[in-house]
Structure 1
Amino acid sequence: MDPLDLYDDSARERVVDEPPKRVDAPVRTPFERDRARVVHAAASRRLAAKTQVVGPQTDDFTRNRLTHSLEVAQVARDLSRALGSAPDLAETAALAHDLGHPPFGHNGERVLADLSEECGGFEGNAQTLRLLTRLESKTFDADGRSVGLNLTRATLDACTKYPWPRGSGPDPAKFGVYADDEPVFTWLRKDAPPARRCLEAQVMDLADDVAYSVHDVEDGTVAGRIDLTALDQPAVWATVRAWYLPDATDDELDHVLAGLRTQGSWPTTPYDASRRSLAALKNLTSDLVGRFCGAVQHATLESGEGPFVRYARDLVVPEETRLEMAVLKGIAAHYVMEAPDRLAAMELERELLAELVAILAFRAPGALERPFADDWDAAGDDAARLRVVIDQVASLTDASAVAWHTRLRRRA
């Protein structure tokens, strides 16, 4: 069966109906059209200059948000195809999953969250939905309102990692929609079980975890920050508990690491930057991605009959796989994100973003780009105007945030 036959007309519906533009155009499925729209979006291009773990300007090897998103998309597409769902859906969700991230990655996200309390907070995933359905210019409705890229219901749902408003989910800091975007959220969640992610969103989230856990360790190793043959396990385990697994014991984490070390490509000698060492590291990366995705694929297919689409089934992530990914993420967090030089840089980034928000709020709308200046003029109160400033700052890359800050301070 063609996977597309498993998605009904409601899944393919758009806020604004759009028939094919030309009868002689290549025949594309609705989900292929969605993928193309995300690929060509300005927000996608900006990911190339946004921090993944360390700033994209640090060296030529380190991943940025765009290269990370491409890798997540590849993992998501392969897993989706193996499960029999529509690969374009999971791939598009993966390509879009970080579009809402502001300058300086999660560090910048925390700053904007603190500064936007008066207008409902900030969350990268909620900002992604706002970009896809409002801020990216592609389609307008009959009343002249932007509907963003006008993606299908199924694609928007697949992009929704946290399908609930602020304060309604298990983690108060994680949510998928701002209050003024709830109308489109209600539309895309038509007939969806409350607070439940569709399978395609689960695939996207798992692919993100796989890429995050494996590739951050690879980047940290090449940067000379991580030596997988000489881990300071007590210190790393403290970071794992602080960031990911608060209840894990040293014995449990020792057992998980011992399991990872049974992978045949796990290094036995330190990385030395030679071609042979680079190849060995790349083989480890490939093997770990296969290890995690294979375990999830097997567990999911063994969980019951398909089809593995939308809300018919859920993705099954074995506990051992979840723990192994958390250990790898903890290794990267300890040696990279908690490194003294990185902590110092992050403090400067927070100060810069806070000052930039304050300056723009004071000088708006004149200091804003035209689309955001128009939004400012249309805003009905101070909270709505603050949201516009946050939208503007979130749209910037790391380098443009620094440039804007320097330019606007110079004019003070």
Structure 2
Amino acid sequence: MIRLAALLALCLWPLTVWAETDDPATAARAAAKALEEAAISLSKADSARDRVKALTQTLKAYEDGLEAMRDGLRRVSLREARLTQDLQAREAEVAQLLGVLQSIAAAPAPVAMIHPQGPTGTARAGMLVADVTPALNAKAQTLRTKLEEVQTLRTLQESAANTLRSGLDGVQKARAELSQALADRTDLPKRFTEDPVKTAILISSTETLEGFASGLYDITEDEVAGSLPDISDRMGTLPMPVQGRVLLRSGETDAAGIARPGVVLATRPRALVTSPTAATVRYLGPLLDYGNVMILEPQAGLLFVLAGLDAVYGQAGQVLPAGSPVGLMGGQDAGPGTILSQAGDGAGTQASETLYIEVRQDNQAVDPALWFKMQKDE
């Protein structure tokens, strides 16, 4: 009777239901595969007709793969921690379950079915055991599944270091090759030639971004008439120039109490910044307290100002195709150990760099959300 009471108590043991829509282990494996495919695309970039375009796509593939790996490891770590915590909280019940299973397996079937109340009691006990056994087996299978999943997740975390190291080496190589390919590029058309003396005078005499933007058109030589095609029909749909999340929207004040008309994005260190559409490079280089700045003119009277970059690519006057690299964010890539440590703590991506985006239309600052597609959760 004591054994049957224990069996009944175990039947009431609540099962934990995990409602994740995506399997963390599957996500981590997919991220590792994405990094392997990025490595293959890097090896093929040399033979591409447009090497800059190929390397840009490869670098973005590495960035996406590393981001997916970070997120996958975070989810793996959280899942493993939750499973371990759940199993530890039920140690007594697990031990009881294992003890009952072992005693049933060890006892001869006739002895286990004998009841002190005679044949009638034995029959009733047999029916009760018959009802209890499937549930008991199901709980044993659930325990086995959880233990196997914990082992799988831990193995994934142990093998992630090599995958991350390979991915980080690949992304650094892709950046170096892209920088060289951009320096070697000679096929881009030029709308004007920059006058370096006039540019220096404008920078030294300018105290605001508005003042600098207003004087941009006076520092050019031999400018070709006309402009790029009108993109007004694409308002609100342009992709953001870099992956990140919005920290401050237009008009919101920062920690110093300063409100700016543009938006501030939090990005990963060394993230690639690209032109959201075909555009003329109006200016690139340091400006005021904005750090390195890239000013793009996608159409007459419209300027996209990207400020806070560590490196900028191109030349003033060049006409860039959509998606062209225009710069890199600052900071340093986190090493495999740091990424694994952050994942183990349940931390997300360390978006430690900030990019300021301002849109000026007819020499007036407008909300960038009018032009760029911004997700509600950014």
So what's the TM-score if we normalise by structure 2?
Answer: 0.24
Bigger Cα Rg: 2
Structure ranking higher in helix proportion = 1
So what's the TM-score if we normalise by structure 1?
Answer: 0.23
